[in-house]
Amino acid sequence: MVSSIPAPETEQLRPGIKAPVQETLLTPRFYTTDFDAVAQMDLSGQAEEMAAVMAELRADYNRHHFVRDQEFEQCWDRVDGETRRAFIDFLERSCTSEFSGFLLFKELSRKLKDRNPTLAEAFGLLARDEARHAGFLNKAMADFGLSLDLGYLTKTRTYTFFPPEWVIYSVYLSEKIGYWRYILVYRHLEQHPEHRYYPLFRYFESWCQDENRHGDFFKVLLRSQPKLWQTWQSRLWSRFFLLTVFVTHTLTVLERTTFYESLGIDPREYNKQVIHQTNATAERAFPSILDTKHPQFFPRLERCAVANQKLAEIANSQRPAPIQFLQKLPWIAVIGWQMLRIYLAPAIDAEATRATVR
């Protein structure tokens, strides 16, 4: 029997269909880009690497992975209270993020079909994987009496324009940080199976390999464009996107400590591990990375998280909007100042590190 009791106070569009969370800086966003510029990208500088990545994507190692087994077919009312609400929030945000990737990749594949066949095929394969992930997550939500209307999301969400260069930097990091997020949870639950309260977590090991392959594709795309790693501007942009991804991850993890604690994970230590590992991975692709071992790096990120929590408290108050705006300004300044201090700290020259290793 599958539970059909939704979490309390969950807003619904209609019975069983969850209303999307309000869009904020921390909610997954939907993107569009300059399709003409992507179509004109010259990939010849990374031809061998692209061929290898394409072979990996075509192999479709997970084509039989996302199949629900009998363990799903039970009542999930025993997952209740704060754990239930935190888990549904995780499922929704993860599903929305995967579906956002599907929409972007599918549109890229469609727009490039007659102009850049290699990229069109690659984005089509990426869209295939993202659709599977989103569908699997949405079915998991249904076990808790809720699901997302993905067609409704497609029509109602705001689409943010990113130039292709921004898409490459941000999606590369999104996929690689996704790999580390999933694999660290999987490894922890392998050691502590008593905290694995739902079968979805058993799928994380193979699942995160999709994230890893997607990241590898965007690494090849990045390295095929010299302006994304050979210029002084690229050094600034790479550090900027690392910073924004790490700040967003920290705010999200520390805003949702209940979910990680329900798995027996220390949110702060988990956040540190994910960021350290993602930064080290980015060193293989980016010209410059952040010094995550600087003694003030994580304290500054956590100050951003505290300020973000204060902003949420103000937003949830009943005070008039003008008063809220004035009360938010100091906390917005705290986040901006801490991010600036991290950004201006001495960075690590990844190109020099790779040259030394060679």
Tell whether 163 and 250 lie within a shared domain: no
Residue range 6-31, pLDDT digits in tens = 444 456 555 566 666 565 666 778 89
CA distances from 169 to 174, 194, 242, 251, 260 (A): 9, 38, 9, 20, 27
Please check whether residue 142 lies inside any domain of the structure.
Answer: yes
Does residue 207 form part of some domain? Answer: no
- Looking at per-residue confidence, does 350 or 357 come out higher? 350
Tokens 């995550």 map to which residue? 292
- Is residue 147 located within the same domain as residue 73? yes
- 293-298: long-range pairs with CB below 8 Å, 24+: 294/345, 294/346, 296/341, 296/342, 296/345, 297/342, 297/345, 298/272
> Cβ distance 144 to 83 under 8 Å?
no
Please check whether residue 189 lies inside any domain of the structure: no
Is 3 contained in some domain? yes
What does the pLDDT read at residue 6?
42
At position 140, the amino acid (one-letter code) is A
**Total domains, the chain:** 2
The overall average pLDDT reported for the chain is 91
The CA distance from 316 to 152, in Å, is 26
Closest CA to 203 of 64, 88, 55: 64
pLDDT digits (tens, 9 = 90+) for 295-331: 999 999 999 999 999 999 998 898 999 999 999 999 9
Average pLDDT over residues 257-271: 97
Q: Are residues 137 and 267 in the same domain?
A: no
N- to C-terminal Cα separation, the chain: 58
Are 13 and 155 contained in the same domain?
Answer: yes
Of 113, 146, 167, the domain-final residue: 167
Instruction: Judge if 152 and 4 occupy the same domain.
Output: yes
In a domain, 180, yes or no: no
Coil, strand or helix: which one is 79? coil
Q: What is the pLDDT of residue 14?
A: 54
Q: Does residue 217 sit within a domain?
A: no
Question: pTM for the complete prediction?
Answer: 0.92
pLDDT at 340: 97
**pLDDT of the residue at 355:** 62
Residue range of the domain that includes 241: 229-358
Nearest to 5 by CA among 84, 73, 89: 84
Are the CB atoms for 347 and 294 separated by under 8 Å?
no
Residue-wise pLDDT for 71-92, tens only, equals 999 999 999 999 999 999 999 9
pLDDT value, residue 1: 35
DSSP codes joined into one string, 88-152:
HHHHHHHHHHHHHHHHHHHHHHHHHTTT-HHHHHHHHHHHHHHHHHHHHHHHHHHTTT-B--HHH
Claim to verify: residue 150 and residue 12 sit in the same structural domain = yes
* Tokens encoding 80: 């209740």
Please, are residues 311 and 332 in contact by the beta-carbon 8 Å criterion? yes
Final residue of a structural domain among 115, 139, 167: 167
In a domain? residue 214: no
Closest of 28, 93, 26, 22 to residue 316, by C-alpha: 22
Are residues 235 and 349 located together in one domain of the fold?
Answer: yes
- Domain end (from 167, 186, 205): 167
- Indicate if 235 and 324 belong to the same structural domain: yes
**What is residue 4's predicted lDDT score, i.e. its pLDDT?**
37
Q: Which of 211, 72, 200 is nearest to 137 (CA)?
A: 200
pLDDT at residue 206 tops 50: yes
Per the CB < 8 A criterion, the answer to whether 248 and 181 are in contact is no
The reply to whether 95 and 236 lie within a common domain is: no
Query: Residue 327's pLDDT is what?
Result: 95
Same domain, 137 and 19: yes
Mean per-residue pLDDT, 207-212: 94
Confirm if 263 and 333 have CB atoms less than 8 A apart.
Answer: no
Please give the pLDDT value at position 192: 97
E runs forming strands in 225-323? 288-289
Helices 232-255 & 321-344, crossing angle to 10 degrees? 130
Position 220 in a domain: no
